[in-house]
């Protein structure tokens, strides 16, 4: 492979937190190995890491566009020392991570408009909505139906492994790019995807790929993009005036996506927000509140169910004419958040959604943590069949490589909690 040396950009953790942004249910193909994130993206293997003040990126390109052979067992990984003259990775990083907006200013704006956001957001700085390829976002969220992050990621990996071009290897791990719609439009794809464990989603993926191919492949999807956030390299143009229901282009894109198989209002809004750049899109689950099992299993497919849960708990929905999630209530929830946060309402709500994810719950407040400590102490006192030391060790284990936790002072808080637990 042709590898470009590591480069750096001055980006603080308050402006971007990779460990939060890349695992909060937006994209499903990133892998973290030894504190470095890797993904096959735009014809290269892109690698990212960061410290408190800088974002570091590296790209590795295949020597040609043909699928590479299986590497020898002694493969050392990437080669190095090639020219950077034809490398557009910096532009890709800026585009994909959506680095142009000043996130500190946006957080201040959203906090001024909403006390609930002001309360929770400080523990979740650096959450950005990615500017993903629209086709990848569409496929990912069709796969998200009644699913969780792990299974969605497995499906996306299978899809790329069997149908996408091989880009290269990180040590011995292969990385693939996304297959285009035309490749998945083959009649044999549906049955093969069922064999791979996609279930009923296999039919949706095949039919949607077929329809998009008939419409002109990915060009049709890109025509639905927010012109203020176009495909990389294209000129920015105005997107129109903001209305209570969103800008006209957003509403047109949403209705167009609903014509595709496996796409309902929720998936359409996910794609509008995370694949087409329409920041005012707010996905809301039409099935209502999360069940206890869903909360505990961290179901990303229920991302928008969490939106409905938050709308009920924090914004007084769920009563009167909005007691159930009808289409009118769906629109009312979106309109409410758009009235609070404007044309980036979906981005602002993604921060609150992240705050509700169980994997990040320990960041919310010391009061919540103290309540959990008391509950755990009672469990340890009453549970005689297990070693309390083992329980303590398991419950205070930190997420490896979570630089954001360390940056915002959460590591020391956890250590203090661990000391209290050891006294039991």
Please state, in angstroms and as integers, the Cα–Cα distance from residue 193 to each residue in 40, 186, 196, following that order: 21, 11, 5
Catalytic residue (choose from 119, 203, 229, 266): 266
Report helix, strand or coil for 58: strand
Catalytic residue status for 343: no
d(CA 85, CA 417): 51
Tokens encoding 248: 């006209």
In this structure, the dihedral spanned by the alpha carbons of residues 214, 216, 217 and 223, taken in order and rounded to 10 degrees, is -130
Number of Cβ within a 10 Å radius of residue 342: 17
d(CA 334, CA 227): 21
Q: 375 with 424: CB under 8 angstroms?
A: no
The edge-to-edge listing of strands for the beta sheet with 2-9 is 2-9, 55-61, 44-50, 36-41, 31-33
Please state, in angstroms and as integers, the Cα–Cα distance from residue 144 to each residue in 138, 208, 227, 322, following that order: 10, 15, 27, 26
Owner of token pair 């523990």: 123
d(CA 62, CA 76): 15
End-to-end CA distance of the chain: 55
Residues labelled catalytic? 266
């Amino acid at each position: 492979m042709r590898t470009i040396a590591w480069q750096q950009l001055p980006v603080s953790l308050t402006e971007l937190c990779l460990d939060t942004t890349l695992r909060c249910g937006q994209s499903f193909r990133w892998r973290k190995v030894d504190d470095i994130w890797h993904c096959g993206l735009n014809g290269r293997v892109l690698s990212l890491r960061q410290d408190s003040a800088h974002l570091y990126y590296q790209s590795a390109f295949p020597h040609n566009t043909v699928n590479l052979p299986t590497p020898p067992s002694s493969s050392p990984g990437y080669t190095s020392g090639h020219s950077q003259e034809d490398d557009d990775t910096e532009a890709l990083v800026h585009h994909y991570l959506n680095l142009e907006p000043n996130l500190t200013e946006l957080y201040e704006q959203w906090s001024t408009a909403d006390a609930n956001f002001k309360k929770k957001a400080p523990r979740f700085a650096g959450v950005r909505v990615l500017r993903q390829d629209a086709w990848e976002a569409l496929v990912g969220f069709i796969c998200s139906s009644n699913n969780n992050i792990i299974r969605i990621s497995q499906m996306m990996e299978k899809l790329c492994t069997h149908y996408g071009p091989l880009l290269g290897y990180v040590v011995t791990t292969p990385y693939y790019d996304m297959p285009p719609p035309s490749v998945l439009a083959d009649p044999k794809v549906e049955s093969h995807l069922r064999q791979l464990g996609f279930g009923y989603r296999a039919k949706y993926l095949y039919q949607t790929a077929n329809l998009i191919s008939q419409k002109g492949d990915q060009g049709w999807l890109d025509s639905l993009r927010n012109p203020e956030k176009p495909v990389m390299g294209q000129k920015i143009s105005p997107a129109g005036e903001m209305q209570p229901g969103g800008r006209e282009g957003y509403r047109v894109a949403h209705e167009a996506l609903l014509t595709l198989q496996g796409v309902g209002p929720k998936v359409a809004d996910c794609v509008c927000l995370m694949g087409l750049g329409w920041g005012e899109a707010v996905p809301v689950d039409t099935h209502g509140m999360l069940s206890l099992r869903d909360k505990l299993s961290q179901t990303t497919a229920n991302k928008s169910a969490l939106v409905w849960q938050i709308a009920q708990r924090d914004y007084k929905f769920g009563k009167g004419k909005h007691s159930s999630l009808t289409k009118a209530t769906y629109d009312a929830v979106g309109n409410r958040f758009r009235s609070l946060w404007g044309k980036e309402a979906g981005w602002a709500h993604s921060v609150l959604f992240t705050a509700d994810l169980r994997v990040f719950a320990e960041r919310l407040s010391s009061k919540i943590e103290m309540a959990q400590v008391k509950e755990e102490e009672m469990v340890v006192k009453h549970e005689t069949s297990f070693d309390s030391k083992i329980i303590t060790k398991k419950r205070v284990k930190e997420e490896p490589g979570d630089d954001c936790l360390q940056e915002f002072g959460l590591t020391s808080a956890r250590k203090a909690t661990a000391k209290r637990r050891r006294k039991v």
